[in-house]
A and B are shown apart, each in its own frame.
Chain A
Amino acid sequence: MADENIALMAHLLRRSGFGASRDEIEAKAAQGYQQTLDDLLNPESQPIIEEDLVFRYNPSYWQSAAIENNVQAWLYTMINTPRQLQEKMCLFWHMIFCAGHSKIDSGYEMGRMVAMFREHGMGNFRDLIYRLSTSPGMMYYLDNTESHQVAVNENYGRELLELFSLGAGKDEEFNYSEDDVKACARAFTGWNNAPAYPPFPYGRSPWEFRFDPADHDDGEKTFLGETGPWNGDDILDIICKQPATARFLARHLYNYFVADDAQIPAWRLTPPQNLDLIQEMEKAYFDSGYDITEMLRVLFNSDTFKSESVRFAKVKSPAEVVAGTLRLVEEHREIKLGLFQHSQEPKYMGMDLMNPPTVEGWHTGREWIDSGTLVERINYASDLLGNTELPGVKGLINRLMSRGDSLSPETFVDGCLDLIGPITVDDGTRSELVAHAQKAGDLRHGSSSEQSDFTRRTGEMFQMIASTAEFQFE
């Protein structure tokens, strides 16, 4: 049976970040849940990635038009930032406020949007959604650059309500009407971009948001029951004070951090799994004046989050599979060659980072898994966990050796499950793992040949665990 403090800390670090090495889990467990959570909720208290070194060895990351460079740089940050919750929230917003490279065609602009989520994603929601609404990438992606006083394009106005704030409905009611969409779109006319340099011959210039008052419809509008000559700013104020917005955020946070929930199109008719916790987060939203961190504080302090029932009950996203495995095996914890290939792996698993399939983003939970992506996920994790030269794997093997001069197959299997997670598998799976271990008998590490055999068998067992259904969950 795994140590409860270790198990709880591992759970917190998997959900609030991209997992951790066993050394890090034990250090944080010694520090305590509350202190660790305080650190996570206050990212500024933690060191930042040393950007000068990142650019020193990857000078092409600077303003790179290539989406691959930007995804690669992001994966490096996921793996290495001490501000793990900040980075997890960065991914959270990318999965909600979706814009994609397939249209934007500028890796740098995608990188800038992600950087904005990083910087402001744990702050005030009113501030964040204003930044989103003045993000030149988003203005272009959702056609607001084509929305004019005399020819309104409703795309941004509609998605702002349906997918970025209110959601289509809650408690079986609709949250807005078609007239609200039209009023919203009119209010955002004139929210546009300045002309930018093309990619050739010297590289794109950073895109700039520009408000054009001459192209703005400043006529009277009625939006969610309020009437006035609303501009986009006023619309955001009205949106933020809606109970539907609090519900929208709380459900998204629950789905991302606690347990897989129904997907957003179903939220009008499907009640939350844990209404009490959702309502506590909604209250925190309003009490704090729309502060995201205060909602997270409620979530991570809740008994629901800490309970064993939600552990390993959530399917890892591909980004979590890749970044989490790399952190566990302690690979690419320094700047070196070879990260590009890892950065492409989420795409092979169905998550093309910085290029979501639609503005609705990726569906999560069991929708991450199909026969193709499952094979990719298993192969990727088992390749790394079976590489006994990697520092994190070596560390786990040394820990296992320290548990006794001789390990029975049962002790060996339980030790591996503990060190990789701690992860609990069903009885049938455990029996299969033990049966495999029994074929070669007890494990010893007295002589050099025994050590070599111990190492080989442990790597093999890690690979088998990576192939279990349970390993696909976090």
Chain B
Amino acid sequence: MSTHFFGLNDRSFAYSHSVGRNEFSGTGFRNPVDMAVGDNDVMYVVNRGYEYRTDGVHISVVTLSEEYITEFGSYGAGPGQFVWPTSIALDAQGNVYLADEWLNRISVFNGEGEFLRSWPDGFDGGASDDASGRMIAYGSGPDIPAGKSGSGDGELDRPAGIVISKDGTMFVTDSRNHRVQKFTLDGKFLGKFGTFGSGPGQLNMPWGIALGKEGNVFVADWRNDRIQQFTADGKWLASFGQSGDGVGQFNRPNGVCVDDDGDIYVADWLNNRVQVLAPDGRFVTALKGDHVLSQWGKDKLNSNPDMIRQRALAYSHNPGYEKSFNHPCAVKIDGQGRLAVLDHFGGRIQVYTKSKDPVLV
């Protein structure tokens, strides 16, 4: 149970280490957008890549101890492929669920990356030839048609965030329908909540989504610049934050998670910070990034010695730049209670530990 000291900072977070570097494949990440926590320190990281370099589009499997395990998935519309991946979640069996907001579908893999199924039905891919016949550098590939979208029950229009509860219910932020939908893990529609707007319980292009220990749902209400809290049945409970860059304000928050103390972590995307809120929404602290070279980062520099000197000069001029978050896009709590922050531009995860004791200030 958290203790509040008159609004002063009663939590402390210690930077532990970083994982990753910018890389199109292998030991690094390319424009990552989300991650999921598995057993035994394992993280599944979604690499969005970009249209020009589709070889960067895949899921990386690494550990928070910076061990590379594997990667799977590729760019395309076929089974097990994806185009605009946005979010990832694991079920109790360790299966991997991936939301794709271009194909408007959820793809399911086992923990080793073997494709199992996708839903909803209605788009099975198939575009695989470049109709123009022109080879594009690095294989941008065909102009893949968007997946079928809809606003009916169980239909999706740019699914943005997914999370799975202990009882196997999937919550999906259905961003262009401005709502949350609930599904079974094989895609059966269970319910929905939220409508377009800025009032309590209304949503505007929601993105990240998380569950609290008690099962409440926390939604990063992206274009309303706030976090909203609901019961699992969709009853509105609270809204935290407003537009801005001040304390407790947000600029397009996209990632959210909640720890066992009920503290809320928000990736405050365009403010380049992570804000920590107490369970009642009170601002606790903001993390700006404390990065130190990861082992993979050191490896990269050691193989590019010309950049060692260049980086050293830059570091002496502006040591804060490399430390800082640069478009943080996802926050997660791992099995050890550590906070992992995924940095979109930096291609890295910054890991923090939380002190068990309140800070006496």
Interface residues of A (CB under 8 A from B): 52, 55-60, 62-64, 66, 68-69, 72, 194-203, 205, 336-341, 344
With A200-B304, A339-B51, A341-B136 already in contact, the answer to whether A205 and B83 are too (CB < 8 A) is no
With A57-B84, A197-B321, A337-B144 already in contact, the answer to whether A202 and B50 are too (CB < 8 A) is no
Name the B residues within 8 Å of A200 (CB-CB).
Answer: 21-22, 300-301, 304, 307
Name the B residues within 8 Å of A341 (CB-CB).
Answer: 132, 134, 136, 140, 143
With A63-B326, A197-B322, A337-B102 already in contact, the answer to whether A203 and B52 are too (CB < 8 A) is no
0 or 1 for each of B82-100: is its CB under 8 Å from A? (1 = yes): 0110000000000000000
Interface of B is mostly: loop
The docked-state distance in angstroms from the alpha carbon of A52 to that of B243 is 13
Which of A63, A68, A336 has the largest count of B CB atoms less than 10 A from its CB?
A68
The docked-state distance in angstroms from the alpha carbon of A8 to that of B304 is 58
Cβ of B116 under 8 Å from chain A: no
Name the B residues within 8 Å of A69 (CB-CB).
Answer: 50, 52
Q: Are B31 and A68 in contact (CB under 8 A)?
A: no
Interface size on B, residues (CB 8 A): 55
Q: Are A344 and B136 in contact (CB under 8 A)?
A: yes
The docked-state distance in angstroms from the alpha carbon of A58 to that of B344 is 12
At the interface with chain A, which of B61-69, B191-199, B212-220, B345-353? Answer: B345-353
- Cβ of B48 to closest chain A Cβ, rounded Å: 6
Cβ of B79 under 8 Å from chain A: no
Q: Are A59 and B140 in contact (CB under 8 A)?
A: no
- Cβ of A376 to closest chain B Cβ, rounded Å: 11
Q: Are B310 and A198 in contact (CB under 8 A)?
A: yes
Name the B residues within 8 Å of A205 (CB-CB).
Answer: 314, 318, 321-322
Q: Are A202 and B317 in contact (CB under 8 A)?
A: no
- Cβ of B255 to closest chain A Cβ, rounded Å: 12
In-complex Cβ contact of A62 among B144, B304, B321, B345 (8 A): B345
Cβ of B311 under 8 Å from chain A: yes
27 sampled A-B residue pairs with Cβ under 8 A: A59-B33, A60-B31, A62-B345, A72-B51, A72-B52, A194-B318, A195-B316, A196-B310, A198-B311, A198-B314, A199-B307, A200-B300, A200-B304, A200-B307, A201-B21, A201-B22, A201-B28, A201-B296, A201-B297, A201-B347, A202-B345, A202-B346, A203-B347, A337-B84, A337-B102, A337-B144, A337-B146
The docked-state distance in angstroms from the alpha carbon of A203 to that of B205 is 29
Name the B residues within 8 Å of A203 (CB-CB).
Answer: 22, 326, 345-347
Cβ of B49 under 8 Å from chain A: yes
With A200-B304, A344-B136 already in contact, the answer to whether A66 and B223 are too (CB < 8 A) is no
The 10 closest A-B pairs by CB, nearest first: A195-B313, A201-B21, A60-B50, A198-B307, A201-B297, A68-B52, A201-B300, A338-B143, A340-B51, A197-B314
With A69-B52, A202-B348 already in contact, the answer to whether A59 and B317 are too (CB < 8 A) is no
0 or 1 for each of B283-301: is its CB under 8 Å from A? (1 = yes): 0000000010110110011
The docked-state distance in angstroms from the alpha carbon of A407 to that of B48 is 51
Given A195-B314, A198-B306, A203-B326, 16 more A-B residue pairs with CB atoms under 8 Å apart are A56-B252, A59-B31, A59-B33, A60-B48, A66-B52, A66-B53, A195-B316, A197-B311, A201-B293, A205-B314, A205-B318, A337-B84, A337-B144, A339-B51, A340-B52, A344-B136
Q: Are B84 and A202 in contact (CB under 8 A)?
A: no
Q: Are B326 and A52 in contact (CB under 8 A)?
A: no
The docked-state distance in angstroms from the alpha carbon of A156 to that of B136 is 36
The docked-state distance in angstroms from the alpha carbon of A152 to that of B77 is 56
In-complex Cβ contact of A337 among B83, B132, B314, B327 (8 A): B83
In-complex Cβ contact of A340 among B83, B136, B146, B293 (8 A): B136
With A57-B84, A340-B51 already in contact, the answer to whether A201 and B301 are too (CB < 8 A) is yes
0 or 1 for each of B306-339: is its CB under 8 Å from A? (1 = yes): 1100110111111001100011010000000000
- Cβ of B342 to closest chain A Cβ, rounded Å: 12
Name the B residues within 8 Å of A339 (CB-CB).
Answer: 51
- Cβ of B100 to closest chain A Cβ, rounded Å: 11
- Cβ of B254 to closest chain A Cβ, rounded Å: 8
The docked-state distance in angstroms from the alpha carbon of A196 to that of B146 is 40
CB-based nearest A residue for B300: A201
CB-based nearest A residue for B83: A337
CB-based nearest B residue for A336: B146
The docked-state distance in angstroms from the alpha carbon of A54 to that of B54 is 19
With A195-B310, A201-B21, A201-B297 already in contact, the answer to whether A337 and B143 are too (CB < 8 A) is yes
CB-based nearest B residue for A60: B50
Name the B residues within 8 Å of A56 (CB-CB).
Answer: 205, 222, 252
Q: Are B49 and A195 in contact (CB under 8 A)?
A: no
Q: Are A60 and B314 in contact (CB under 8 A)?
A: no
Name the A residues within 8 Å of B311 (CB-CB).
Answer: 197-198
Name the B residues within 8 Å of A344 (CB-CB).
Answer: 136
0 or 1 for each of B117-153: is its CB under 8 Å from A? (1 = yes): 0000000000000001010100010011010000000
The docked-state distance in angstroms from the alpha carbon of A198 to that of B101 is 33
Q: Are B48 and A59 in contact (CB under 8 A)?
A: yes
The docked-state distance in angstroms from the alpha carbon of A202 to that of B31 is 11
Cβ of B270 under 8 Å from chain A: yes
CB-based nearest B residue for A340: B51
- Cβ of A67 to closest chain B Cβ, rounded Å: 9
CB-based nearest B residue for A61: B50
The docked-state distance in angstroms from the alpha carbon of A167 to that of B255 is 53
Name the B residues within 8 Å of A195 (CB-CB).
Answer: 310, 313-314, 316-317
With A201-B301, A337-B144 already in contact, the answer to whether A63 and B102 are too (CB < 8 A) is no
The docked-state distance in angstroms from the alpha carbon of A63 to that of B321 is 13
Name the A residues within 8 Å of B296 (CB-CB).
Answer: 201
0 or 1 for each of B217-234: is its CB under 8 Å from A? (1 = yes): 000001100000000000
- Cβ of A210 to closest chain B Cβ, rounded Å: 9
Q: Are A52 and B327 in contact (CB under 8 A)?
A: no
- Cβ of A107 to closest chain B Cβ, rounded Å: 10
CB-based nearest A residue for B223: A52
Q: Are A62 and B52 in contact (CB under 8 A)?
A: no
Q: Are B322 and A202 in contact (CB under 8 A)?
A: yes
- Cβ of B319 to closest chain A Cβ, rounded Å: 11
- Cβ of A268 to closest chain B Cβ, rounded Å: 41
